[in-house]
Amino acid sequence: MYKLVKEGSAEIFVPVEEKISKKLPVFYNPVMKLNRDITILLLRQFPPLSICDPMAASGIRAIRLTKELSFKSIIANDYNKKSFLLIKKNMKLNNVKFVVKNMDANLLLLNSNGFDFIDIDPFGTPNNFLDAAVKRISRRGILAVTATDTAALSGTYPKATLRKYWALPKKDAMMHETGLRILIRKIQLIGAQYEKALVPIFSYSKDHYFRVFLRCDKGKSYVDEIVKMHGMLDNAGPLWLGSLWDKRLVNKMHKSCIKGSLPLNSRIKKNNKNKELINFLKIIKEESKINAVGFYDIHEIVEKEKIREIMKKEVLMKKIKDNGFKAAETHFSGTGIRSDIPYGRLAAILKKG
């Protein structure tokens, strides 16, 4: 049984099932709309690309990309026969055309001549698909990776992290940032083997998943620069110690989102459904300006320093700025502050009240 749903400029058939799980005959998760919105906003900042959606499920991503973006070519694939048939049906329903395949994602990628954009969006870990995706991402291309095994990356199963991501996680207030950085380093190490330097241009953690977009530079010296930026953070890692964002890109995405460029459907724009995305991008825009790996968790410091009263986040940020440092909220945690202020100075401000 299928029902019609609207997302962005697309209208598609999805299974009627109440519970979102990988047991669905064809997978569709409305929560991942934001993931797809961000993908479209980001890709709009680049010239038309050849796009591969190797795990397309209902086809929602490929259909939206076709309708909401200029592109060179789009190919959607899923090894599930039911998905394959539904993608074709949804494609017709939306009056769009792209190539649809029904094969293993790795075979599809490896048998291709490569793509400018590859979107790895599996159930759980992206590990099985990294090698083929990295091999087939073009020079200056963009590789997007979603990981939903956040528990393994964030410290719930340290042995699993070591096995799957070759690093040690840390279960604390910063675990989502360290987990995301561990994932990034793993992808970069796969790239290093093929002399491909994968530079994060937009990364985030949300709901049940991590997401990163990496630009591919080709050449040994670029790779050497990347590997130099791997190290430990607070006993977690090795992980990526470089920037998580391209500041200019984040700015452009935020601006274009405010302008209401997404989705193209004006009715949705009027209802201001993009508020969550605009706020999310605004926080990331501000934190991307701060040159600091990791953030301070106010609750953790207050507990450690035995401070009685917790200062309001806005007040604390103002005091940090008054002391000549930068400060911003972080999308990783509601109680976190990203700042270049040294720990001692911050603790002193909090103690003084």
Ligand X SMILES: C[S@@+](CC[C@H](N)C(=O)[O-])C[C@H]1O[C@@H](n2cnc3c(N)ncnc32)[C@H](O)[C@@H]1O
- Binding interface with ligand X (CB under 6 A): 27-28, 32, 36, 54-58, 60-61, 78-80, 83, 104-105, 121-123
The per-residue b/e assignment along 54-70, b for 16 or more CB within 10 angstroms, e otherwise, is bbbbbbbbbbbbbbbbe
Q: Least Å distance between CB 32 and ligand X?
A: 5
Q: Least Å distance between CB 165 and ligand X?
A: 19
Q: Least Å distance between CB 240 and ligand X?
A: 24
Q: Least Å distance between CB 207 and ligand X?
A: 13
32/152 with CB nearer ligand X? 32
Q: Which residue number is nearest to ligand X in terms of Cβ?
A: 55
CA angle 255, 256, 262 (to 5 degrees): 140
Strands 99-101 and 10-15: unpaired
60/316 with CB nearer ligand X? 60
Q: Least Å distance between CB 303 and ligand X?
A: 38
In sequence order, the β-bridge partners of residue 204 are: 211
38/60 with CB nearer ligand X? 60
**Rounded distance between C-alpha atoms, residue 303 and residue 172, angstroms:** 13
Structure tokens at 85: 């048939």
63/349 with CB nearer ligand X? 63
58/205 with CB nearer ligand X? 58
Of the candidates 113, 123, 9, the residue with the CA atom closest to the CA atom of residue 57? 123
56/317 with CB nearer ligand X? 56
For the chain, what's the residue count?
Answer: 353
- What would the DSSP string read from start to end of 161-189? HHHHHSSB---STTHHHHHHHHHHHHHHH
Q: What is the torsion angle, in degrees rounded to the nearest 10, for the CA atoms of residue 315, residue 321, residue 325 and residue 328? A: 60
Read off the DSSP letter of residue 156: S
Q: Least Å distance between CB 65 and ligand X?
A: 10
**Rounded distance between C-alpha atoms, residue 163 and residue 74, angstroms:** 34
123/343 with CB nearer ligand X? 123
Structure tokens at 342: 């040294």
33/44 with CB nearer ligand X? 33
Structure tokens at 254: 């935020």
Q: Least Å distance between CB 311 and ligand X?
A: 41
32/311 with CB nearer ligand X? 32
Q: Least Å distance between CB 50 and ligand X?
A: 18
Cβ neighbors of 320 (< 8 A, separation 6 or more) are: 326, 327, 337, 339, 341, 346, 349
**Rounded distance between C-alpha atoms, residue 101 and residue 152, angstroms:** 31
Q: Least Å distance between CB 37 and ligand X?
A: 11
